[in-house]
Structure 1
Amino acid sequence: MSNKASMQMLAHELVQLLWSEVLLLPKDQFSTLVDNHSTLLFEAAELGNVDYLIILIRTYPDLIWRVDEKNRSIFHIAVKLRQENVFNLIYEIGSIKGMIAQYIDADDNTMLHLAGRLAPLERLNIISGAALQMQRELLWFKEIEKIVPPSYKKLVNKGIDGEPADTPWESFTKNHEKLKEQGEKWMKDTANYCMLVAALIATVVFAAAFTVPGGNNQEIGIPIFLKHKWFLVFFISDAIALVSSSTSILIFLSILTSRYAEEDFLESLPRRLLFGLTTLFISIVTMVVAFSATCFLVYYSEMAWLPIVIIVSAGVPVTLFVRLHYQLWADIIRSTYWSRFLFQPNKSRLF
């Protein structure tokens, strides 16, 4: 890792050295060189090489205004290819960003039209799950909406390859139709499986509440172990398991009955899935705690080692659930809550 960092540092120093030599050229030679090799600027934007762009633009700010053969700036390319590190440079150029955001390319595409296209596969696959990929695409579209003039939301582009002209949102809807269907299927499948588990847990803990360990006193009808501390642990954990599993069922049911509009993938559906998984996890943990408390009540006085062994074994499904679903949890949290930091100025200041 250190070797990679040192190689990157040497590459940056080399670029700075070469660029400083280029800046010493006479004005006419410098302009010719920049004009003939401006493609390097756009290739860096395509690859997301923000460090290279910062070195060039910091010493020659006029490169901000450069456009390619289709009249697209580096920010238009960053939007099209979903290079957020390059795009975030736009927040460091002040009021100029409003002027650059007004650029319209040769096909009458605004920056918002480019955000309406589907991201390249290699950038899309950075996010796991079709629903979260749809969420990321919506985040891009909503962010570009804040930058472009309001009138651009209704502008239509040129129809390419015989296709009809579209507004940005029409373009987004059409290009993301398949991804939306995949996201809906992924959400419903996940909700179905999780709701089945939650229903099984709710059934078990509901029955356990009326078949308490040790049974009831036949004369007065109260549980025999009522005053035992482990009975209190059993009853509280069983109640929490019932409430959390029932809540999980309702949350997953709301996912299944959602209308699945594009905007639902932005926050509503991911949050429901996150809360549903959390309540399901709580129900599993409390069900295991209730089971462990029952073991202590019934067997501890006769075989002290047995409940301890059972409790250790009961921790296996909890650990397994965390290991199997941790990545999904992390992806949802990162995509739903940390994504608010996706679009912000770079740490390396441009100017």
Structure 2
Amino acid sequence: MDTQVLARRETPILVAAKMGILEMVQKILDKFPVAIQDMDSSGKNVLMLAAENRQTTVFDYLVEKKLPEFVFHQLDDQGNSILHLAAMLEELLPWRIPGAALQMQWEIKWYKHVKHSVPPLCFAHNNAKGETPRKIFEQTHQKLVKDGTDWLIKTSESCSVIAALIATVAFASSATVPGGLKEETGYPVLENHPAFHVFSITSLVALTLAVTALVFFLSIITSRCQERDFKLTLPRMLLLGLTSLFASIVAMLISFCAGHTFILIDKLRFAAIPIYAVACIPVAFFALVQLPLYFDLLWATLIKVPLRSYKVFNH
């Protein structure tokens, strides 16, 4: 009997809101506007289910539809408001994006988005257990914060080793002048050669970018990694660190090729292109490995409202 009652309470519009089927929600409300009053066995209406299940498109559609005020002030059997449900995190991660840190970033963005969409009276409302939405958010996201912190630190430690190695090589190469110096003036022998200018500039650029990347990664490692830092600070530092690291690798390889131009042109002219192609393999390999993560970071940071339909790369 109880199962039959529960089944009857799951009306089509509630199921559509829970599953994120926007077209069905639109058609039902267009033909049967009274369906907005439907509630499931827990006392949750269509807007609450959309917020709880992170269905962005359905939630935004309902908010823009200018629903009656009672829809926003509805409470479930536990006294939870819409903001309470948006603050809760189940065991299964809701967002289709890799990495605990990016999951946490989108959770914060979703909570803020729902908070700005509901009446201010919901902010300080306590449920039946006396918990505010903010308290529930902190309690249910503790494990995700810890997992995100571990992921960020491990990634930063690995990348900082590469950045330190590039900085060491770039410093050594920038201190070595190809062709030597003139005894009379102390100026480089090849100072008028175009490749020498390319070598000098790219060596300095590689050193600067590698040190910059190292600073960003060390900042993440030494950060307190608090909950609020996952919204923008930590992902942005990782994004800038990866950008600087990738650019420093490119600059270092250009410097390497420019420094060996003098030898290749005279003695190994026909082997120059294959050698340069082989030298680009590390950059290509690094790009294939890190670009999916880079694009995920870029997308997760730039987007204002998370999307359940986001298609991620396979790592």
TM-score, normalised via structure 2 length: 0.90
Aligned letter for 2:62? Answer: I
Which of the numbers 246, 258, 269 marks the counterpart of 1:293?
A: 258
Give 1:63 shift.
1.4
- Within 5 Å, give how 1:109-258 maps onto structure 2: 109-119=80-90, 121=92, 123-124=94-95, 126-159=96-129, 165-258=130-223
Q: Deviations over 1:220-265 (max 9, x none)?
A: 3222211100001111111111111111111111111222111110
Moved more, 175-184 or 299-308: 299-308
> Which whole-Å CA distance do the structure 2 matches of 1:139 and 1:90 have between them?
19
Query: How far did residue 340 of structure 1 move?
Result: 4.1
In 1: Cα distance, 2:295 partner to 2:11 partner: 38
Moved more, 150-159 or 324-333: 150-159
**Which of 1 and 2 has higher RCO (CA within 8 Å, sep 6+)?**
2
Runs (4+) off by over 6 Å: none
Note the 1:1-351 alignment, pairs <5 A: 39-94=11-66, 96=67, 98-119=69-90, 121=92, 123-124=94-95, 126-159=96-129, 165-340=130-305, 342=307
| 1:104 partner amino acid | L
1:117 partner letter = M
Structure 1 range deviating more: 204-213 or 305-314 = 305-314
Letter of the 2:42 counterpart: K
Q: CA RMSD in A?
A: 1.9
Indicate if the aligned counterparts of 1:234 and 1:289 stay in contact, CA closer than 8 A.
yes
Cα offset, 1:140, TM superposition = 1.1
Please say if residues 255 and 273 of structure 1, whose CA atoms lie closer than 8 Å, have aligned partners that are also in contact. yes
Distance (whole Å) between structure 2 residues aligned to residue 114 and residue 36 of structure 1: 23
TM, length-normalised to structure 1: 0.81
Partner of 2:312: none
The one-letter amino acid of 1:141's match is Y
Checking the alignment, whether the CA contact within 8 Å between 2:160 and 2:217 is kept in structure 1 is yes
Structure 2 spans left out of the alignment, 5+ residues? 1-6, 309-315
Structure 1 residues 62-115: Cα deviation after superposition (integer angstroms, max 9, x where no partner)? 212322222211111111111212212223312x26542211111010111111
* Greater Cα offset, 259-268 or 275-284: 259-268
Q: Residues 213 and 298 of structure 1 are in contact (CA less than 8 Å); yes or no, is this contact kept in structure 2?
A: no
Say whether the 8 Å CA contact 1:214–1:223 is kept in structure 2.
Answer: yes
Compared with structure 1, are the counterparts of its residues 141 and 98 closer, same or farther at alpha carbon in structure 2 (3 Å cutoff)? farther
Distance 1:222 1:54 in 2: 76
Q: Structure 1's 238 and 120: CA in aligned 2 closer, same or farther, altered over 3 A?
A: same
**How far does the alpha carbon of each residue in 1:27-65 deviate from its partner, in whole angstroms, 9 at most, with x for none?**
xxxxxxxx9575222122222222222121122222123
Question: 1:130 & 1:97 partners in 2: Cα distance?
Answer: 37
SS of the aligned residue for 1:305 comes to coil
Alpha-carbon deviation of 1:166?
A: 1.6
> How many Å apart are 1:216 and its aligned residue?
2.0
The equivalent of 2:311 in structure 1 is none
CA distance in 2, matches of 1:102, 1:152: 7
Task: Show CA shifts across 1:318-346 (max 9, x none).
Answer: 11111111111111111110244759xxx
Give identity over the alignment, percent. Answer: 35
> In 2, distance between residues paired with 1:45 and 1:143?
17
Per-residue CA deviation, residues 282-328 of structure 1 (Å, 9 max, x unaligned), is 00000000001112122312221233222111111111111111111
Q: Give, in whole Å, the separation in 2 of the partners of 1:172 and 1:36.
A: 31
Change (3 A) 1:286 1:202: same
